[in-house]
Amino acid sequence: MLRLTTIALVFGLTLAACSSSGGDSTGIPVQDADLVAAGDVLYQANCAECHGSDLRGTDKGPSHLSIVYVPGHHGDQAFVVAARVGVRSHHWDFGNMAPVDGLSDDDLTAIIAFVRENQRIQGFEP
Ligand code: HEC
């Protein structure tokens, strides 16, 4: 009985990993809760103006829940580079993103954890 349950569980997880929306189906690991909380504050102060307090974008910048920002296409390093040197507009029509000053490496690590945790929980927009 125990073994059957285990097989069912593993099978269920495998299936979930293949779909792309919501829950744990993104393949993104659960992020450290303290980092996520710190990243939330930093994101709201530095990124939300353009990317939205709910990460879903504004008229000044794209949604970080867009499928464009899956880790496989925009890895964590893309977030570091975006904050450090800015982004030349290439995916959207919002214009360029200027570098964001005053963020330490630890700040960026926290911001990335916050974004990944939201992507993991909410899933990606098509
Ligand atoms: C003043 C507006 C603005 C602010 C503030 C802002 N961004 Fe952006 N960001 C943009 C725009 C516009 C783009 C889209 C550029 C494009 O067309 O690809 C973008 C794109 C990005 C990308 C995608 C980079 C790539 O390689 O395609 C990342 C990652 C990103 N922003 C992270 C952040 C983070 C993290 C913060 C806060 C520390 C932040 N942004 C703050 C406007 C902003």
pLDDT in tens, the chain (126 residues): 555 555 444 444 444 444 444 456 799 999 999 999 999 999 999 999 999 999 999 999 999 999 999 999 899 999 999 999 999 999 999 999 999 999 999 999 999 999 999 999 999 998
All residues at 6 or more sequence positions from 97 whose CB lies less than 8 Å from its CB, including other chains: 50, 61, 82, 86, 87, 89
| Residue of minimum CA distance from atom 12 in ligand 1 | 61
Residue 21: predicted pLDDT: 47
**How many A from CA of 8 to the centre of ligand 1?**
41
Nearest CA to ligand 1 atom 39: 47
- Tokens 């504004």 belong to residue: 58
Ligand 1 center to 5 CA (angstroms) = 44
